[in-house]
Amino acid sequence: MRNALFLSLLVLLGPLSGCFGASTANEDGMSEPSMYPEVWNRHTLDWNWTDSYSYVLEPGPYTALEVQEATFEVDTSEVWETGPATSTVHLSYWLPSNTELGEKVPVIAVVSPYFSFGQPGDESGATYVVGAGRGEFIYDNYIPHGYAFAQVSVFGTEESSGCFDYRGEGEGWGIHQAVEWLGDQNWSNGKVGLYGKSYEGATQWEAAAIGSEHLATIVPISGTTGLHPLLYKNGSAEARSQVMHMNYFSSTVDYNEDDFDNICPDIIEGFFAGPVTYGAGELDPYMSN
């Protein structure tokens, strides 16, 4: 009975064994101190409560270098049935200071339709301005620990050209190319992680659907995996289908002649998807696909 109890305790506590110490094994199998505080002592440490988001317990040794911007062309001729043959992706990125010594670093990126020419610190600022909240959290916590940080605007938003393909194949292709670009830079170690909430969580699933050897992980927060299950219920489009198409399209326009370059056929159809489905039922082109 005692032996059985002892074995049961070993099985139950085995997975927790790494939590009780603050040491790790090196290549020679020797124990060496960990850079992280011991788990059971963390409640006694001083936490940084000075901002609207959390901070890591141990600040990193590196600083952020000046922001850099990049724009690159993407072949979209075989992605959309109609639309531009080429489009451009615009992004901005910050490198940690250890890259000046030749070190290659991983990248954390936020991919969004919300970047625009707003005021610095706004939720919808330009890509070269660290985004309020979500961007600041990565900038303050991860760049000091040796990560690069990038902000990417999807097609048809901010300085990225092409039509705004709302959660469509074209948008996913542009996101994929951004991941490839970030993973191929001479300062990158080839590993790209995506992070964000809501639409910025959904763009991560678009990247994952295509796949890339550079896409190391995604951290989607409240991001839908697909538009159809979001807008369609029991075979019919919800009324918000039209509202959401109008809402996102309106966020990409400046109300001048250049706006015509941002209009994808899917957006025009999306304005009428809800009413057509309710009124015409099986005649709705969405339902036949």
Give me the number of domains the chain comprises.
2
Residues 210 and 234 in one domain: no
Residues 264 and 209 in one domain: no
Give 59's contacts (C-beta < 8 A, 6+ positions apart): 144
**Do β-strands 105-112 and 86-94 pair in parallel, antiparallel, or remain unpaired?**
unpaired
| Least confident segment among 62-76, 88-102, 218-232, 260-274 | 260-274
pLDDT, tens digit (0-9, with 9 covering 90-100), for 67-110: 999 999 999 888 765 567 889 999 999 999 999 999 999 999 99
Residues 74 and 159 in one domain: yes
Within a domain: 5: no
The residue to which tokens 């190319």 are assigned: 177
Its domain, for residue 138, covers 68-224
Within a domain: 22: no
Domain end (from 186, 203, 224): 224
Percentage of residues of the chain with pLDDT beyond 90: 37
pLDDT, tens digit (0-9, with 9 covering 90-100), for 156-205: 888 888 888 778 788 899 999 999 999 999 999 999 999 999 889 999 99
Domain end (from 224, 239, 257): 224
Instruction: Give 45-70 as a DSSP string.
Output: SPP--SSSS---SS--S--BPPPEEE
* The model's pTM: 0.76
Higher confidence at residue 133 or residue 289?
A: 133
Residues 130 and 219 in one domain: yes
Cα angle 188, 191, 192; round to 5: 95
pLDDT band at residue 19 using 50, 70 and 90 as cut-offs: very low
Residues 183 and 255 in one domain: no
Domain of 185, CATH number, reads: 3.40.50.1820
Residues 200 and 262 in one domain: no
* H helical segments located in 89-226: 134-141, 169-184, 199-210
Question: Is a pLDDT exceeding 50 seen at residue 14?
Answer: no
Residues 139 and 183 in one domain: yes
Count of all residues that appear for the chain in the document: 289
